[in-house]
Amino acid sequence: MKKNNIFRANGASIRKAAAILKKGGVVAFPTETVYGLGACVFNPKAAARIFEIKKRPYFDPLIVHIAQKKQLSLLAAELPSKVKKIADKFWPGSLTLVFEKKKSVPDIVTAGLNTVAVRMPDCKIALKLIELAGQPIAAPSANSFSRTSPVRAQHVRNQLKDGPDMILDGGKTRKGLESTIVKFEKGKFYVLRQGAVPVEEIEKNTGLKILKPADSKIQAPGMLKKHYAPKATVIAVKNEKEAKDLNAAYIAFKDRPQKKFKMVKILSSKGCLEEAAANLFDFFHDLEKKKAGKIYIEKAPARGLGLAINDRIKRAAAEAGGE
Ligand code: AMP
Ligand code: MG
């Protein structure tokens, strides 16, 4: 392994990271959701390196991150007023919007689709970096393909080694779950991925209806059945009664289990969904490091953020392969 490429985020390191991006390099950086692996969106060669470093298949498009709404004009073919309404309410924030792209957005970024996914992160470090780079930054999560997304700089380092030219360390991410993805198509909105912003919240704040895609063509590419997985067997349970193997690790949602499992973690002793979401991936990384082998995890209450948490648990627990 080459020398450590993690730099604590401050004015000087963010400037250095922006200079690397401008020269066509690839930088991992924190956002409020998870760490991203970024390259300048209009540099297809740099974007190609993201796929190489992550071992990500080319059919899986990248999310483009912006620092100011005016940067949308570089990416969007047109900006429907309903899309603008959602962006105005939720940006900066953990909501990604998908809409028709401008032809100039490179195909490698959008996996050849005529749409592009865009968000403005709610994280000062990320915003400063994008601003100094002077252009939108394409950045998927900074994990190896199908593994747990990183919520600390060290998680990026453990998975991607010295693949990125630099890793900016902004500490543990605040939300710990990926963004919610909503697609605009022919006047309607569809949720493609549950995430850090509950769909009800979008509906409540905008008065717009967000549909569940019935049509499989609308599904997000890259939303594979097996995803977000630690290197361990993950088994989703309702409660500890379903967990027989005491040699395993047990992640409870709220209450400590009675049984003596080898390792026990509590997502939120207060039963707070935000806290649980922020801990989920961090616990997966930690238990993987401690070589847990098998992890039981209790599902969250199926409301609000709990839906996104349960989606990640389901995918982490899935067998490999298939969509
Ligand atoms: P992430 O690694 O969390 O940044 O994931 C990016 C995800 O965004 C992809 O796996 C896709 O599911 C979704 N995505 C990106 N671009 C598009 C697009 N143009 N249309 C639909 N989904 C997209
Ligand atoms: Mg990802």
Q: Which atom of ligand 1 is nearest to the CA of 36?
A: 4
Q: Do the domain assignments include residue 225?
A: no
Whether the pLDDT of residue 1 is over 60: the answer is no
Whether the pLDDT of residue 64 is over 90: the answer is yes
Give pLDDT tens digits for 212-260.
877 555 567 667 677 777 899 999 999 999 999 999 999 999 999 999 9
Q: What is the CATH number of the domain that holds 282?
A: 3.40.50.11030
Asked if 26 and 119 sit in the same domain, the reply is yes
What pLDDT score does 166 carry?
98
Q: What is the CATH number of the domain that holds 198?
A: 3.90.870.10
User: Between these two residues, 6 and 224, which has the higher pLDDT value?
Assistant: 6
Whether the pLDDT of residue 124 is over 90: the answer is yes
Asked if 127 and 165 sit in the same domain, the reply is yes
Residue 60 CB less than 6 A away from ligand 1: yes
What pLDDT score does 227 carry?
74
Of all residues in the chain, what percent carry a pLDDT higher than 70? 94
Over range 172-181, report the average pLDDT. 97
Distance 146 CA to ligand 2 centre (A): 7
Q: Do the domain assignments include residue 70?
A: yes
Asked if 251 and 190 sit in the same domain, the reply is no
Last residue of a domain, one of 150, 180, 211: 211
Number of the ligand closest to the Cα of 31: 1
Residue 115 CB less than 6 A away from ligand 1: yes
Q: Do the domain assignments include residue 185?
A: yes
Task: Give me the number of domains the chain comprises.
Answer: 2
Q: Do the domain assignments include residue 29?
A: yes
Q: Do the domain assignments include residue 78?
A: yes
What pLDDT score does 194 carry?
94
Q: Do the domain assignments include residue 177?
A: yes
Domain that holds residue 265: 233-317
Asked if 43 and 163 sit in the same domain, the reply is yes
Residue 192 CB less than 6 A away from ligand 1: yes
Residue 113 CB less than 6 A away from ligand 1: yes
Residue 223 CB less than 6 A away from ligand 1: yes
Asked if 207 and 243 sit in the same domain, the reply is no
Q: Do the domain assignments include residue 216?
A: no
Asked if 154 and 199 sit in the same domain, the reply is yes
What pLDDT score does 322 carry?
36
Number of the ligand closest to the Cα of 182: 1
Whether the pLDDT of residue 60 is over 70: the answer is yes
Residue 224 CB less than 6 A away from ligand 1: no
Q: Which atom of ligand 1 is nearest to the CA of 113?
A: 19
Ranges 81-85, 156-160, 267-271, 319-323: which has the least confidence: 319-323
Number of the ligand closest to the Cα of 147: 2
Asked if 137 and 45 sit in the same domain, the reply is yes
Asked if 275 and 135 sit in the same domain, the reply is no
Last residue of a domain, one of 144, 179, 211: 211
Over range 179-196, report the average pLDDT. 95
Whole-model pTM? 0.93
Asked if 275 and 137 sit in the same domain, the reply is no
Residue 117 CB less than 6 A away from ligand 1: yes
Residue nearest atom 5 in ligand 1 by C-alpha distance: 140
What pLDDT score does 104 carry?
96
Asked if 255 and 124 sit in the same domain, the reply is no
Asked if 141 and 16 sit in the same domain, the reply is yes
Asked if 301 and 155 sit in the same domain, the reply is no
Q: Do the domain assignments include residue 322?
A: no
- State the average pLDDT for the chain: 94
What pLDDT score does 93 carry?
98
Residue type, 302: A
